[in-house]
């Protein structure tokens, strides 16, 4: 048999399965529902109906127990006030961008704003760097112009090659005589007398050893109005030296001449005419003009005075702006000098020192080493 148990407005259905069974030779009732099993033993003197009532009472107690447990669970669930408080807290967290869901918009906006700020900051930094570089460049140029007015401010580069001055392009009918003074001094006096006789000024390129050995002649050359030029300290092949060694070769003799005479030399001729790009660059760094020659007298080969005169006066390279190489210590130079001067003058040339022949600024070089006025 089955029974439906109803209470209040709710309907709770419990099924009572009643079986008459025999246990230990005694009749009993077995009943079952969702979470309960029980066996009510037969009692002496109890009828079958009494046993049914006992089963029904047991079922009532079970239902009441479950109802009491359900009420306690309902009381344990948060009330409406607590739920409202939680809702308000979540809304506040959304507004601060710390809660998922609605916070995604805030985070996205924040990242975009940060990117924009970083971009603006990067642009400002680059502008500041460019401005600083421009100001530093201007300051450097102004400083060079103010403190080194005679320094070389143009490039002597042609096709990637740094060139010395071999000759000068000029409309003036002028040439320059030059003497390398690296050894010997027997004929220096005679040379100075011949130059004085013709009222000619020239350039002497002196090594450090020669200056040290003949300080009185250095002073005499300067006193006669001639150029003092630098021919290195030790007459080495400059292209085989480091940058530091190149500059040392120039500045040692420079200092010695300055201390001896007070004169600041600014013309340099590399020994043996040996140079490369780094040699010319270091010459410029020392505020010197690199000087070569366009006509070589070959007086150092001792072919005789007539040969020297012919090589100079009759040279096919003789023209306005030519630079002529001679040596004060060569055997026949002093003997040939008078004829050389007269021969050049007879052709209408004025003899000037190199310092007067070259351009000091605003010039460029041709591939053959000719110095040309203008940038």
Q: How are beta strands 36-40 and 289-290 bridged, if at all?
A: unpaired
Is 363 a residue whose pLDDT tops 90?
Answer: yes
Give exposure, 151-179, as e/b (b: 16+ Cβ within 10 Å): bbbeebeeeeebbbbbbbebeeebbbbbb
* 226: Cβ contacts below 8 Å, ≥ 6 apart: 195, 201, 202, 203, 204, 353
Of all residues in the chain, the percent with pLDDT exceeding 70 is: 60
Residues marked active site are found at 180, 327
Q: Containing H/E element for 103?
A: helix 103-147
- Residue with the larger pLDDT of the pair 241 and 18: 241
Q: What is the mean pLDDT of residues 344-357?
A: 98
The overall average pLDDT reported for the chain is 79
Contact (CB, 8 A) for 230 and 210: no
Is 158 a residue whose pLDDT tops 90?
Answer: no
* pLDDT tens-digit series, residues 100-144: 444 444 444 455 666 667 767 776 666 666 666 666 656 555 554
Is 193 a residue whose pLDDT tops 80?
Answer: yes
Is 92 a residue whose pLDDT tops 80?
Answer: no
- Residue with the larger pLDDT of the pair 200 and 50: 200
If pLDDT is split at 50, 70 and 90, which confidence band does 24 have? very low
The three-class DSSP label of residue 373 is strand
If pLDDT is split at 50, 70 and 90, which confidence band does 159 have? confident
Q: What is the mean pLDDT of residues 274-299?
A: 96
In this prediction, residue 351 carries a pLDDT of 98
- Residue with the larger pLDDT of the pair 225 and 184: 225
Question: What residues form DSSP beta bridges with 267?
Answer: 289
In this prediction, residue 47 carries a pLDDT of 64
In this prediction, residue 16 carries a pLDDT of 46
In this prediction, residue 327 carries a pLDDT of 97
């Amino acid at each position: 048999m089955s029974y439906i148990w109803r209470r209040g407005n709710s309907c709770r259905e419990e099924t009572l399965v009643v079986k008459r069974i025999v246990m230990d030779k005694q009749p009993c009732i077995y009943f079952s529902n969702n979470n309960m099993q029980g066996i009510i033993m037969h009692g002496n003197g109890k009828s079958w109906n009494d046993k049914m009532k006992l089963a029904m009472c047991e079922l009532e107690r079970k239902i009441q127990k479950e109802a009491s447990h359900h009420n306690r669970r309902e009381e344990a669930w948060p009330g409406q006030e607590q739920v409202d408080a939680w809702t308000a807290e979540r809304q506040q967290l959304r507004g601060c961008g710390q809660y998922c869901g609605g916070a995604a918009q805030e985070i996205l906006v924040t990242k975009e704003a940060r990117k924009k700020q970083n971009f603006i900051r990067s642009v400002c930094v680059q502008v500041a760097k460019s401005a600083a570089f421009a100001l530093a460049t201007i300051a450097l140029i102004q400083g060079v112009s103010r403190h080194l007015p005679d320094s070389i401010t143009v490039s002597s580069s042609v096709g990637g090659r740094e060139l010395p001055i071999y000759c000068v392009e000029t409309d003036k009918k002028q040439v320059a005589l030059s003497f390398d003074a690296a050894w010997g001094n027997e004929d220096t006096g005679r040379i100075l007398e011949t130059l004085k006789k013709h009222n000619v000024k020239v350039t002497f390129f002196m090594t450090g050893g020669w200056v040290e050995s003949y300080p009185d002649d250095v002073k005499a050359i300067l006193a006669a109005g001639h150029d003092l030029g630098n021919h290195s300290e030790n007459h080495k092949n400059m292209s085989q030296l480091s940058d530091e060694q190149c500059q040392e070769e120039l500045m040692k003799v420079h200092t010695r001449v300055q201390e001896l005479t007070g004169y600041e030399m600014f013309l340099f001729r590399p020994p043996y005419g040996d140079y490369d790009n780094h040699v010319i660059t270091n010459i410029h760094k020392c505020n010197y003009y690199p000087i070569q020659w366009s006509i070589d007298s070959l007086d150092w080969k001792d072919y005789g005075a007539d040969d020297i005169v012919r090589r100079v006066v009759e040279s096919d390279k003789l023209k306005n702006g030519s630079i002529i190489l001679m040596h004060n210590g060569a055997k026949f130079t002093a003997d040939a000098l008078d004829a050389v001067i007269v021969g050049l003058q007879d052709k209408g040339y004025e003899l000037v020192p190199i310092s007067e022949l070259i351009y000091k600024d605003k010039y460029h070089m041709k591939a053959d080493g000719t110095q040309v006025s203008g940038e």
